Amino acid sequence: MPRRRPPRELWRALRRQVWERDDGLCQYPYGQHPVALAEAHIDHIVSGKRGTNDLGNLRTLCRYHHVLRADHRHQGMIAQALTDGLIPTNWRALVWDDPGD
């Protein structure tokens, strides 16, 4: 599948499939916890031009961990999370990436 997000209905189905595969758990590599489908974010493990919408490149994250993942494409999400009070002003100390990356 190309990296471009598929049409809305296909994305919803793919999103549910990823969430179910991940047992409804945030796949933060340093500790998993439940996240409701309605609140789940689907993260591209490899993002940008090299990333795909293949199941193996997608994982469930909670909003908090998705926002704080080390990816320059998340800047807009960071700004909104700060506005919403989701993350503290010292958020840079909380940024994470996958082990071994």
Number of structural domains in the chain: 1
Is there a domain that residue 23 lies in?
yes
3-state secondary structure the chain: CCCCCCCHHHHHHHHHHHHHHCCCEECCCCCCEECCHHHCEEEECCCHHHCCCCHHHEEEECHHHHHCECCHHHHHHHHHHHHHCCCCCCHHHHCECCCCC
Is there a domain that residue 3 lies in?
no
Over the stretch 76-95, which tens digit does the pLDDT of each residue have?
A: 899 999 999 999 999 999 99
* Domain of 53, in residue numbers: 8-94
Is there a domain that residue 49 lies in?
yes
Over the stretch 16-70, which tens digit does the pLDDT of each residue have?
A: 999 999 999 999 999 999 999 999 999 999 987 788 899 999 999 999 999 999 9
Is there a domain that residue 70 lies in?
yes
